[in-house]
């Protein structure tokens, strides 16, 4: 039986790489019986989706940002 | 058609704010963000002839900036891969993962993932959750943060990311694994239990 440590590692690995047949089967049976790893897997899917979103949408919250006037001047003088 | 100089100046006036906000959101330091925004306008100036007006200037500038941000992360990761003999901390096998798992590899009671009370679909498009995630990303060790940032900017997976950065596949997913353990834990502490 796979440990939670190994199972959770495979859960992350499978986002990026194909698991071997043996790994897939072991993970499948582990997830059937392990609520914690099942939760870990679902939550990581949500996190992935939000990370993907953060790249497409300009952030809908904005950090306090000091004036960029200086930067503008610097850019314009750099173009000459 | 307006001349190149006055056109670019107009763009600098109009878009610097927004490009700089985006760059500082994505990049670890203000200085890097400033540099890359400046480089973006220089690149736009130099390849002005290639701008054909099919897309809006804003879209074009964003595309240039995003490429610069990706280049930055790619180079940073490559440099770390070349110069550091160890990408994971020493004795890491016993230290970092031991925070989460006992000696049998079972979740420690206090680290076991809890059910999150908010429905998944309510976490998407949730600016406060997104912000907490962003703060948690910034608490990761620098290399882990860069690897995640690069992966999601590139919108690519495993082997492609490894090819571009020079990371071995095992280093790459071991880094992602640790980063994901820490991120999830950070979200649970800072978002769900606050």
Q: Residues A11-32, buried b or exposed e (16+ Cβ, 10 A)?
A: bbbbbbbeeeeebeebbeebbe
Helix (H) or strand (E) holding B4: helix B4-26
pLDDT in tens, B21-79: 899 888 988 899 999 999 999 999 888 888 877 788 888 999 999 999 999 999 999 99
Q: Residue A59: pLDDT above 60?
A: no
Residue listed under structure tokens 């002005």:
B48
Q: Residues B118-153, buried b or exposed e (16+ Cβ, 10 A)?
A: eeeeebeebeebbbbbbebbeebeebbbbbbbbbbb
pLDDT in tens, A45-55: 999 999 998 87
A25 contact B CB<8A: no
Nearest CA in chain A to B39: A75
For residue A4, which residues of chain B lie inside 8 Å, CB to CB? 101, 105-107
Task: Work out the mean pLDDT of chain A and round it to a whole number.
Answer: 87
Looking at residue B95, its pLDDT comes to 82
Residue listed under structure tokens 């941000």:
B69
Q: CB–CB of B82/B61 below 8 Å?
A: no
For residue A62, which residues of chain B lie inside 8 Å, CB to CB? 21
Cβ–Cβ gap A79/B183 under 8 Å: no
* Rg, Å, chain B Cα set: 20
User: What architecture is the B92-192 domain classified under in CATH?
Assistant: Orthogonal Bundle (1.10)
Q: Which residues contact B87 (CB under 8 A, 6 or more apart)?
A: B80, B81, B143, B167, B171, B175
Best CA proximity match to B180, nearest among A27, A11, A55: A11
**How wide is the angle at C-alpha B31 spanned by C-alphas B40 and B151, nearest 5°?**
70
Nearest to B124 among A5, A43, A53 (CB): A53
Residue ranges, comma separated, of all CATH 1.10.1740.10 domains in chain B are 4-83
How much of chain A is in helix, strand and coil states, percent to nearest 5?
75, 0, 25
Looking at residue B147, its pLDDT comes to 95
Residue ranges, comma separated, of all CATH 1.10.10 domains in chain B are 92-192
Q: Tell me how far apart the alpha carbons of residues A56 and B155 are, in angstroms, rounded to a whole number.
A: 11
B59-73, B92-106, B135-149: which has the minimum mean pLDDT?
A: B92-106
Cβ–Cβ gap B153/A55 under 8 Å: yes
Q: Which CATH number fits domain B4-83: 1.10.1740.10, 1.10.40.30, 1.10.540.10, 3.40.50.720?
A: 1.10.1740.10
- State the pLDDT confidence band at B116, using cuts at 50, 70 and 90: confident
Looking at residue B2, its pLDDT comes to 65
Q: Residue A64: pLDDT above 70?
A: no
pLDDT in tens, A1-57: 899 999 999 999 999 999 999 999 999 999 999 999 999 999 999 999 999 988 776
Looking at residue A30, its pLDDT comes to 97
- State the pLDDT confidence band at A77, using cuts at 50, 70 and 90: confident
């Amino acid at each position: 039986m796979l440990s939670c440590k190994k199972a959770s590692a495979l859960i992350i690995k499978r986002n990026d790489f194909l698991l071997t047949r043996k790994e897939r089967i072991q993970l499948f049976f582990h997830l059937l019986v392990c609520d914690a790893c099942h939760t870990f897997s679902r939550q990581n899917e949500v996190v992935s989706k939000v990370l993907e979103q953060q790249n497409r949408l300009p952030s809908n919250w904005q950090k306090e940002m000091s004036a960029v006037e200086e930067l503008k001047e610097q850019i314009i003088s750099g173009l000459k | 058609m307006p001349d190149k100089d006055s056109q670019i100046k107009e763009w600098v006036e109009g878009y610097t704010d927004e490009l700089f906000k985006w760059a500082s959101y994505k990049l670890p330091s203000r200085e890097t963000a400033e540099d890359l925004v400046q480089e973006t306008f220089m690149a736009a100036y130099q390849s002005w002839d290639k701008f054909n007006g099919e897309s809006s200037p804003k879209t074009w500038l964003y595309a240039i900036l995003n490429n610069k941000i990706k280049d930055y992360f790619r180079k940073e990761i490559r440099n770390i891969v070349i110069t550091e003999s160890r990408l994971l901390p020493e004795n890491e096998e016993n230290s970092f993962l031991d925070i989460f798992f006992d000696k049998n590899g079972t979740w420690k009671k206090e680290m076991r993932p809890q059910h999150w009370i908010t429905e998944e679909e309510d976490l998407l498009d949730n600016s406060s959750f997104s912000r907490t995630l962003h703060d948690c990303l910034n608490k990761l060790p620098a290399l882990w943060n860069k690897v995640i940032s690069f992966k999601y900017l590139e919108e690519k997976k495993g082997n492609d990311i490894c090819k571009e950065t020079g990371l071995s596949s095992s280093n790459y997913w071991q880094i992602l694994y640790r980063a994901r353990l820490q991120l999830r834990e950070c979200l649970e502490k800072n978002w769900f239990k606050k």
